[in-house]
Amino acid sequence: MNRPGLISRLLRVPRLTRRRIGLALAIAVVADGLQLLLGPLGWVFFDEVIDGIAMIATSWLLGFHLLLLPTFAVEFIPVIDLLPTWTGCVGLLIAMRKREQATQPPPLPPPRRLIES
């Protein structure tokens, strides 16, 4: 497979929609809530799985951003992982993406095909 095409496809920034924003926020709140509810039991294995799923899902919905990496890393620190880091990160990422998209012109419609007779 073409490596540059694969990388650019993985790092694409999708257009924000209400549905994408809502799903990303829901995933972040659920991830933080589960980690808070699991408390000390979460350190066995579940915290890392929850963090991995939250990062992958958020990247898929909002596009990958370097801000997700420190959030993922902070979740490995014992007391700090109880803070709602995913919710804060997703909220900040949504604000940044909205600002980026507000400065960009809207995408052009696809070209029309002429029917030859």
User: pLDDT tens digit string along 23-35?
Assistant: 999 999 999 998 8
Which residues contact residue 73 at a Cβ distance below 8 angstroms, ignoring those fewer than 6 apart?
A: none
Q: For residue range 40-88, what is the model confidence (pLDDT) as tens digits?
A: 666 667 888 888 999 999 999 998 888 888 888 888 887 787 789 999 9
For position 42, what pLDDT does the model report?
Answer: 60
Q: Band the pLDDT of 89: cuts 50, 70, 90.
A: very high
Map out the domains of the chain as residue ranges.
14-100
| 85 contact partners, CB below 8 Å, separation of at least 6 | 32, 71, 74, 75
Distance CA 69, CA 88 (A): 13
SS3 at position 100: helix
pLDDT band at 117 (very low <50, low <70, confident <90, very high): low
35, 44 Cβ separation under 8 angstroms:
no
Q: Say if CB 84 and CB 71 are below 8 A apart.
A: no
pLDDT at position 114 over 60: yes
Cα–chain-centroid distance for residue 82?
Answer: 19
